[in-house]
Amino acid sequence: MAIIKVFNQGRFLMNNQDILSKISSYTSKMLRQKFGRGPESCRATLGINHLVLYIRGFVSPMEEVLLKTSQTAYVNHARDVIIKHVMEELKGVVQISLDVEVEEYFHDWNFTNNTGMLMLVLNGTTETEQVHPNFNKQALELEVARITSLVQREPDAIKTYILSENVILVERIGILIPIEKALILKGYSSELLLTKDDLEKSYFHRDANFNTIFTTPVQDLFIDWDFKEDKSMVGFVLK
């Protein structure tokens, strides 16, 4: 991978912002190669243990037709398959350019806003300053717990990661109920994921009071799940 060599040779001459710009550009290039067109913009935000890529303007003409005919499930499935290949390739770039291992990743798409988010969990710390919250973190975690309990059950643990003033991640650990675990064991993970995607997001968008917790309105909200580890990541983008 030529771009990895460029990162490796020049990483000590670049600051974090330069590296993030390279990662963003490379991500856009990979998406263009895999999907036939690239996003209008791809912005990388680095935290101490996380890297987020916020993508805007990324719906292909074929996907647009499917979405207009209410075939969202097909679009989600196709993206999930392709994005897994993209993420595996992106992991190598991130690991070499930031000198950390990528432990796991999450991704989600908001077709209404034509946006998406790639969330990478880093197994190691980066040279990024800690961002202090300008909102009540406990209130946010209580609200996430309340909304989660309406759909399934209250999480065993909730952790908040503040990457910047307008990018926040909330990790939920221990949220699956017994019937969901049984469905996963019987091979119904895809069906469960589609159902949770529709149901849980509707509650987070409709019933949550996030705009009263944050000092600015929520521009985008993304949710993805890791059934194997029984955890979920919620990504917030504030205006």
CB 154 within 8 A of CB 176: no
d(CA 103, CA 80): 18
Per domain, the residue ranges of the chain are 2-123, 137-238
The CATH class given to the 137-238 domain equals alpha beta
Which of 152, 229, 233, 163 is CA-nearest to residue 195?
Answer: 152
CB 119 within 8 A of CB 169: yes
Residue 50: both structure tokens together: 């996380």
Query: With 80 as the cut, is the pLDDT of residue 9 above it?
Result: no
pLDDT digits (tens, 9 = 90+) for 110-158: 988 999 999 999 997 887 878 888 899 999 999 999 999 999 899 999 9
Average pLDDT, the chain: 88
Q: Give residue 200's identity as a one-letter amino acid code.
A: E
Query: With 80 as the cut, is the pLDDT of residue 2 above it?
Result: no
69: Cβ contacts below 8 Å, ≥ 6 apart = none
pTM of the model: 0.89
pLDDT digits (tens, 9 = 90+) for 176-202: 999 999 999 999 998 898 888 889 999
pLDDT digits (tens, 9 = 90+) for 39-59: 999 999 999 999 999 999 988
d(CA 199, CA 207): 12
Query: With 90 as the cut, is the pLDDT of residue 90 above it?
Result: yes
